[in-house]
Amino acid sequence: MSNKKILVLPGDGIGNEVMAEVLKIIDWLSKTRSMSFEISERLVGGTAYDKEGDSISDETMQEALDADAVLFGAVGGPQWDNVEREKRPEAALLRLRKELDLFANLRPAVVFDALAEASPLKLNLVKGLDILILRELTSGVYFGQPRGVSKINDDEEKAIDTQSYTTSEITRITRVAFDLAKLRDNKVTSVEKSNVMETGMFWKNTVSNIHQKEFQDVELFHMLADNCAMQLVRNPKQFDVILTDNLFGDLLSDIAAMLTGSLGMLPSASLGPIAENGSRAAMYEPVHGSAPDIAGQGKANPLAMIMSFAMMLKYSFNMQEDSVLVENAVQAVLSKGLRTADISDGADKIVSTQDMGKAVIEELNNLSGS
Ligand code: NAD
């Protein structure tokens, strides 16, 4: 019997609706498998701003630091558009990433057989697709100094962003990439612009050094970022793990996301460094936002949130079997033709958020024989 501390942060809009379905799955796992979870739930985002005066309170931040893992819904909405920048809903997300030092962002792009037709790409290109984009999340051009806008003369101004990476920043994300590849198809493609950028060449050399010294048993390929963007739509199944920096990861993960056809199906994980006691800060969240246009209507697809939880089981708690069980339950529900509106092609039976959650639990019962 293990006791895992999870901080649950549903957030705003559909964040609450999709999180409610995951909580039922956590409850199911606690009752039917030999594990227990210590769940603590707090406000975050606009809801927290309204009730607590900030998008994430110091107490909530402390709980996040103390938890084994954070499960995050989504934040934001038009009613908070005019809130001051440091208290806006999205500021909570940035604070969590920064204070938990979540440098490794994992975005799987998996095409379920039952949904392959929903991809904008041809069926033969995406059927069976299972790739993982690993994006460096806490450095690079979004954080590099100097940055800002300065005046050159009365008619001219200049804006600067700085792309910067240190050896240790690249080394730690590279190790994560190789470790993840070992659990998958053992192949890493490192992506940069070594043909035109100093940081690109530095990135490539640093990745090669780590590969040479520590991971010769994993296949390593290098690819230029513009070529990678093209290859992702030309032949995405050539990839296993794509390792890249913050800026290119931002763009390439959105391209990979679209291969799967729907935002409501995309989970993500963000991992921090491994501490001396072996623990690692981690946050799991769907890629989608708070979807104010459908919030409160029972239309949200809870599967991205549910699969984010499956990633938590895999990466934070080493519960591979249970993680696969949840993924298989999702797959089974889709195979039976159940669809929320976002993944429906019009012909399927459209179900509500709650019915989709219920169907996943039914499949968990079927698959586990309970
Ligand atoms: P969004 O992801 O919330 O929605 C984009 C579109 O996809 C909408 O039409 C929405 O209805 C649909 N959609 C998203 N998730 C869905 C789901 N699970 N099921 C069915 N349909 C789904 O992006 P947006 O509209 O650009 O942003 C809305 C708010 O969310 C903004 O305030 C934005 O800042 C915020 N946001 C938050 C996060 C986050 O919390 N991580 C991420 C992105 C956007």
Mean pLDDT to the nearest integer, 168-192: 97
CA 189, CA 223: separation in Å to the nearest integer? 7
- Ranges of CATH 3.40.718.10 domains, the chain: 1-103+272-370, 109-265
Q: Give me the pLDDT at residue 348, please.
A: 67
- Can you tell me which residue has the tokens 């993924």? 327
Quick check: 106 and 315 in contact, CB under 8 A?
A: yes
pLDDT of residue 124 exceeding 60: yes
CA 251, CA 258: separation in Å to the nearest integer? 11
50, 87, 127, 142: which is the annotated catalytic residue?
Answer: 142
Q: Is 142 a catalytic residue?
A: yes
Mean pLDDT to the nearest integer, 218-240: 98
Q: What is the pLDDT of residues 290-315, one digit of tens each?
A: 999 999 999 999 999 999 999 999 99
Assign 189 a pLDDT band (cuts: 50, 70, 90). Answer: very high
Assign 347 a pLDDT band (cuts: 50, 70, 90). Answer: low
- pTM comes to 0.93
- Can you tell me which residue has the tokens 């190790």? 175
Query: CATH for 109-265?
Result: 3.40.718.10
User: Which architecture does CATH list for 1-103+272-370?
Assistant: 3-Layer(aba) Sandwich (3.40)
Contact residues of ligand 1, CB 6 A cut-off: 14, 18, 74-77, 90, 93, 263-264, 285, 288-294, 300-301, 304, 340, 342
Q: Is 165 a catalytic residue?
A: no
